[in-house]
């Protein structure tokens, strides 16, 4: 969906550009109408995104509410993640230190201060590369006991080394859980579950330590490819009643049910805890809806919850569903007949092994969990896809995409989208490392497809 929207906007702007080159006033009026439509359409794009994706300069958060013993009160939990790249690390005695303060503030619907939770921490790292990691984070939780009502929740992260501040906020409406009929709590997505080793842990649920998945992003390969979530069921006035909990997973694009199961539960306690662990090994990547239904023995609906999550497209999932394009991507940096040998492999497990072997050969730090070369390669693939796609063509397979994947961000980029007597073109210059290279890309048909002009290796051209 996102790709279709982006392609549509690109086409609109190409049309606008061509209209502006015409001399008749009525065509230029059309241009402004199209431009206004495009701007409005772009606003919708900005609001569209994968569930739970962490964005630069945006604090990743999630929340859920649960019942407590007091009928009129509600336990409200805010989950958040602090990524290394948010913070500035100072070097001291061979290590790197960051200091931060995180504050969660609760205000009522008239913006009056009610409560806050302050968390002051120091992070110590021994590797400079980890200080700017986009994937390393720590998860925490703030818990409040509140009455039923509407609230504004404010988040503030303060980097104490630089005094830089990040903020965010959201509104929430809390309703009490003590009703006549059985009822679900909110759903808490989890990234890990362990036994209780520390009674002061903020993640305690009964005798379990449930670490929230703030991003709601899942996916991997083998045993790690599971969906974890936690929910509570409250009986209301129906103690000892048997109910049916139905779990459904639906892909948001295809709409079809991808998973369904039913569990019969006898509500013998004021709170029945359910921790679900569902294999998603056979599910396609994308955005999903998790639907929970609670029904009585006559199958009458008692309650329903629907929340969204995402199954990411990992390289391993890519192998399973689009092996041809996996090989095309690897072929950009492969040597000799590496990819040709991988094309003949038919078994999925053997394909995964060959894929891992390909990257192990290029791992600058063998034995560590993190392969910097692989991570940078797929970062470049994502960047090329997001920035160089046109019409129905993948950005990573375009001429600009391939050069970006091979050489990275150009040291200098000269862009000429509108030039007298010339088609739109770009010049990319690389000179900080190795031999000077200059690549010339021309948008011959003015459709966003910038084609590389000879010499294709970028050598022997003047700056």
Q: What is the DSSP string of 111-131?
A: --EEEEEEEEEEEEES-GGGG
Q: Spell out the CATH class of 370-463.
A: alpha beta
Q: Spell out the CATH class of 73-178.
A: mainly beta
d(CA 221, CA 320): 10
Domain ranges of the chain: 2-47, 73-178, 179-312, 313-361, 370-463
Beta bridge partners of 307: 290
Whole-number pLDDT of residue 447: 86
The structure tokens 């991507």 sit at 329
Q: Residue 300's Cα: distance from chain center in Å?
A: 37
Whole-number pLDDT of residue 394: 87
Whole-number pLDDT of residue 47: 26
Total residues belonging to the chain? 463
- Angle, CA 229 vertex, CA 234 and CA 356 arms, to 5°: 170
Whole-number pLDDT of residue 56: 52
Structure tokens given for 57: 């300069």
Whole-number pLDDT of residue 221: 55
Answer whether CATH 2.60.40.1180 is correct for domain 179-312: no
The predicted model scores a pTM of 0.68
Whole-number pLDDT of residue 222: 54
Whole-number pLDDT of residue 224: 64
Q: Is 206 left (phi over 0), alpha (psi -120 to 50) or beta?
A: left
| Contact status, residue 311 vs residue 283, Cβ threshold 8 Å | yes
Tell me if domain 179-312 and domain 370-463 are identical in fold.
Answer: no
Percent composition of the chain: helix, strand, coil (DSSP 3-state, to 5): 25, 40, 35
pLDDT tens, residue order, the chain (463 aa): 334 444 444 444 444 444 444 444 444 444 444 444 443 333 322 222 233 334 456 899 999 999 999 999 999 999 999 999 899 999 999 999 999 999 999 999 999 999 999 999 999 999 998 898 877 899 999 999 999 999 999 999 999 999 999 999 999 999 999 889 999 999 999 999 987 777 788 999 988 999 999 999 998 655 568 999 999 999 998 788 899 999 999 999 888 899 999 999 999 999 999 999 999 988 888 899 999 999 998 999 999 999 999 998 777 778 888 899 999 999 999 998 999 999 999 998 999 999 999 999 999 988 877 788 998 998 899 899 888 988 778 899 999 999 999 999 999 999 998 878 889 999 999 999 889 999 999 999 888 899 999 989 989 777 7
Whole-number pLDDT of residue 278: 96
Q: What is the dihedral of CA 366, 369, 372, 378, to 10 degrees?
A: 130
- Which letter does DSSP use for residue 99 in this model? E
């Amino acid at each position: 969906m996102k790709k279709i929207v982006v392609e549509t906007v690109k086409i609109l702007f190409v049309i606008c550009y061509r209209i502006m080159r015409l001399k008749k006033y009525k065509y230029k009026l059309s241009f402004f109408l199209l431009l206004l439509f495009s701007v409005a359409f772009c606003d919708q794009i900005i609001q569209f995104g994968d569930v739970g994706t962490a964005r630069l300069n945006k604090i990743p958060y999630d929340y859920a509410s649960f019942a407590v013993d007091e009928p009129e009160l509600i336990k409200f939990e805010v989950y958040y993640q602090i990524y290394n790249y948010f913070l500035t690390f100072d070097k001291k005695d061979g290590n790197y230190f960051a200091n931060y303060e995180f504050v969660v503030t609760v205000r009522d619907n008239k913006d009056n201060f009610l409560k806050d939770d302050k968390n002051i921490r120091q992070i110590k790292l021994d590797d400079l590369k980890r200080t700017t990691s986009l994937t390393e984070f720590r998860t925490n939780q703030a818990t409040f006991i509140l009455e039923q009502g509407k609230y504004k929740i404010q988040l503030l992260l303060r980097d104490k080394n630089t005094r830089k501040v990040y903020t965010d906020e959201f509104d929430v409406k809390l309703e009490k859980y003590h009703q006549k009929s059985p009822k679900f709590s909110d759903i808490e997505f989890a990234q890990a579950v362990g036994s209780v080793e520390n009674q002061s842990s903020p993640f305690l649920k009964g005798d379990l330590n449930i670490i929230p998945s703030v991003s709601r992003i899942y996916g991997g390969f083998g045993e790690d490819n599971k969906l974890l979530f936690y929910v509570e069921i409250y009986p209301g006035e129906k103690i000892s009643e048997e109910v049916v909990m139905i779990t459904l997973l639906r892909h948001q694009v295809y709409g079809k049910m991808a998973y369904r199961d039913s569990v019969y539960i006898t509500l013998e306690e004021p709170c029945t805890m359910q921790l679900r662990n569902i294999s998603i090994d056979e599910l396609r990547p994308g955005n999903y809806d998790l639907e929970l239904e609670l029904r009585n023995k006559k199958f009458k609906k008692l309650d329903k919850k629907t929340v969204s999550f995402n199954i990411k497209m990992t390289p391993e999932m890519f192998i399973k569903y689009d092996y041809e394009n996996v090989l095309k991507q690897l072929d950009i940096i492969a040597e000799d007949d590496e990819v040709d040998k991988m094309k003949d492999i038919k078994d999925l497990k053997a394909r995964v092994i060959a894929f891992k072997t390909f990257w192990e050969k290029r791992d600058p730090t063998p034995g560590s969990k993190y392969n910097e070369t692989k991570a940078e390669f797929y970062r470049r693939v994502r960047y090329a896809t997001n920035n160089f796609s046109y019409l129905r063509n993948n950005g990573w397979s375009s001429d600009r995409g391939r050069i970006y994947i091979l050489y990275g961000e150009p040291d200098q980029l000269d862009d000429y989208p509108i030039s007298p007597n010339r088609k739109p073109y770009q010049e990319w210059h690389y000179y900080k490392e190795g031999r000077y290279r200059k690549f010339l890309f021309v948008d011959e048909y003015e459709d966003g497809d910038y084609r590389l002009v000879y010499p294709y290796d970028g050598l022997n051209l003047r700056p």
